[in-house]
Structure 1
Amino acid sequence: MKVLMPNRRALAVLCLSLLAAPSWAQSTDAGDTPPPVSASAETAEAVPEQILVVAQKPGPGMWKVSKGEHVLWIFGTYSPLPTKMAWRSHEVEAVIGRSQEYLPPPSSKLEMSYFQTALALPSLIGVNRNPNDATLRDVLPPEVYARWLPLKEKYLPKNKEKDRPLFVAYELFGAAMKQAGLMTGNDVRKQVEKMVGQKKLKVTPTIYELKVDNPRRLVQEFKKSPLEDVACFSHTLKQLETDIEAMRVRAHAWAKGDIEVIRRLDFSEQESCSNAIRNSAVLREHPAFQGAEEKHRAMWLANAEAALARNVSTFAVLPMKDLLDPKGLMAALAARGYTVEQPE
């Protein structure tokens, strides 16, 4: 059973498989914050500026990891990006054309039999709801709830306020990005993988399998347990109150390959939403999830080192966070003695 997005049932399974923040597309931070967005009725009724990029955009250059004559080229993806952006990088096409292997971004897979899946699916009904039929007014601090109301009116007027803050934050962010002319999908990666298929490269995925013996019971326990997701919800509100214009700037920076702006990105606060899942008592105490992140990271590094050893040229795709984070995968390769060169 592969974990996908973005519908609510898929997001419920997402919670169980720890595919949190990177897939969310909330990979932005306040950074250089512009003036706050007004929450007045007049602003709510205004038609938001749309981004339409009609020229082909190359995105950023690639990171180069090398040892001797063998090279691993890594292309960094980012989200959100301009809607209807036409992306094409001749540099990426050329590297794929002369490479022998492709390493996709790491992913997770929830290992369940067909029978287990059939039993678990009914229990997912209502997994997005607050325990004990609580509403957002009941679970949020008063000042956070007050900040939510104008954004609800602007982006999610039909929301019934019975979902957990984490799920509402996801919906709210997606609706706001759509209005702002930004998209949170993975169209660039799809185009990359189309090129990989055309060149018939060997594909070596990094898939961490989460083995859950009784998924139905796990879902039931998850539904009853509280989530520390107020920080996630509050951060999402902050982004939409103050950061829409900065998101546009960063989206265009990626599209144009403006590496100086990209280097200034701060990914630290995006962890608040993934941590709300990781730190839930149900998942924290389940054997399948203990140490999952570290094991996943080790698997990708092992695949990268093996590819570097056997190939003259290898091509890979990673989220930009893993390339820029001082504790990310790129830093780990540098620590292991590989030469790492950032794009100009």
Structure 2
Amino acid sequence: MRKILAGLMLAATALGGAARAQAIDDPQANVVEALVVSAKLPGPAWWRVSDGDTTIYVMGTPSALPKGMAWDRSVLERRLDGASVLLTPPEWRAGLGDIPALLRLRGNLKDDGDWTGRSPALAARTQRAWSGVDPKNAGEWRKWKPLFVALQLNGKANSQAQLQTAQPDKTIKDVARKQRVKTRPAAVHKAMPMLKALVREHSEEAGLTCLSETLDATEAGPAPIRAAADAWAQGRVKDALAGPRSAERCELLMPGVADLKRQLVDDEVQALTDLLKTPGHAVAYFPLRALVAENGVLDKLRARGITVRTPGEG
């Protein structure tokens, strides 16, 4: 049931993604170079947030990893030993009672396919890409709005390339569970108000922009994502940040998503600040770019006078 609900939420979100065509408001476009430092220790990069009697070890994570990709967990295991909590990214939650509304929203994603006549070149590219990742249902994409075509295409391409969006999150949580460290999200938000707000207005043009960028990434293949994942596993932060951002740029076409991303950063900043009130040490992980962006998590913590040490300091 959780898988069905997650799929419906994705479908509902997609409609809002076709918001009014406009320049993309990307709150994480720029990073703080002083924070983009390669790791001194083995494995992924860690930052340290501390005050007088508390230290929080913070790992930056990618959006997906190749299936079965090995990465050094020794630092993670050591830092979880005796940790008071594992702090995870904020969560959006919906209940079983929301399923009827999600189904109705999903119905609004249907399309008559008229856009293919207005954008024949894009339609031809879509047909080729879709046939490559789902040859048994080569014409299935024609009944959906362009933005939802993009989201489905991205998911199918990731699946074909064996890229797992549940990783490395699942592994981190599994290690914490084995070491009996409780896990807590930085914040919890109700999903339905957000989803309903997203579907109030949409445009075909934004959906077509998203589809075009998704096709660029699909046609480039999984090599850039795999290269970024390898860099992440080796603690090479700058190279890890160089991975493609087409899926994220699609999200930013949705009305209000840029502000939502700012809210999530504020959630993470507040959760870390509150955690500093508990003596001892804790562990957290948040999306890598959100950590090191200008006005991102670590930048805002430093602005509050909180000490932040980089991965180069061990």
What TM-score range do you get, normalising by the shorter chain?
A: 0.7 to 0.9
One-letter code aligned to 2:235: G
2:151 maps to 1:170: yes
SS at match of 1:103: strand
Aligned counterpart for 2:123 among listed residues 118, 142, 145: 145
1:165: how far off?
1.8
One-letter code aligned to 2:87: L
CA separation of 1:324/1:208 partners in 2, compared to 1, >3 Å: closer, same or farther? same
Q: Which position in structure 1 is the counterpart of 2:308?
A: 340
Aligned counterpart for 1:240 among listed residues 183, 194, 218: 218
One-letter code aligned to 1:259: V
2:262 maps to 1:297: no
One-letter code aligned to 2:252: N
Q: Which position in structure 2 is the counterpart of 1:317?
A: 285
SS at match of 1:309: coil
Aligned counterpart for 1:98 among listed residues 82, 87, 91: 82
Q: Which position in structure 2 is the counterpart of 1:120?
A: 101
Q: Which position in structure 2 is the counterpart of 1:63?
A: 47
Q: Which position in structure 2 is the counterpart of 1:11?
A: 10
SS at match of 1:74: strand
Deviation digits for residues 64-106 of structure 1 (CA, Å, limit 9, x no counterpart): 1222342111112213322222445010011011311221111
- Structure 2 gap segments, 5+ residues each: 18-28, 30-41
1:299: how far off?
2.7
CA separation of 1:152/1:15 partners in 2, compared to 1, >3 Å: closer, same or farther? closer
* Separation in 1, partners of 2:177, 2:6: 25
Q: Bigger relative contact order, structure 1 or 2, given CA contacts below 8 A and separation 6+?
A: 2
2:252 maps to 1:253: no
Conserved in 2, the CA contact under 8 Å of 1:72 and 1:313?
yes
Q: Percent identity among equivalent residues?
A: 25
Q: Which position in structure 2 is the counterpart of 1:79?
A: 63
Conserved in 1, the CA contact under 8 Å of 2:56 and 2:283?
yes
* Separation in 2, partners of 1:62, 1:5: 33
- Structure 1 gap segments, 5+ residues each: 19-28, 30-57
1:212: how far off?
5.4
SS at match of 1:276: coil
One-letter code aligned to 1:232: C
Name which of structure 1's ranges 185-194 and 90-99 shifts more when overlaid on structure 2: 185-194
2:160 maps to 1:179: yes
SS at match of 2:165: coil
2:188 maps to 1:188: no
* Separation in 2, partners of 1:186, 1:97: 23
Conserved in 2, the CA contact under 8 Å of 1:81 and 1:255?
no
1:163: how far off?
0.9
TM-score scaled by structure 1? 0.70
Name which of structure 1's ranges 197-206 and 314-323 shifts more when overlaid on structure 2: 197-206
Q: What RMSD, in angstroms, separates the aligned Cα atoms of the two structures?
A: 3.6
TM-score scaled by structure 2? 0.75
Deviation digits for residues 121-176 of structure 1 (CA, Å, limit 9, x no counterpart): 5424523323xx235514x6333223323222322332421112222212222222
Deviation digits for residues 174-201 of structure 1 (CA, Å, limit 9, x no counterpart): 2223333x41322321121122223333
1:61: how far off?
2.4
Conserved in 1, the CA contact under 8 Å of 2:173 and 2:183?
no
1:273: how far off?
1.1
Q: Which position in structure 1 is the counterpart of 2:295?
A: 327
Conserved in 2, the CA contact under 8 Å of 1:101 and 1:307?
no
CA separation of 1:315/1:166 partners in 2, compared to 1, >3 Å: closer, same or farther? same
Conserved in 2, the CA contact under 8 Å of 1:148 and 1:237?
yes
Q: Which position in structure 2 is the counterpart of 1:134?
A: 113
Number of aligned residue pairs: give it. Answer: 285
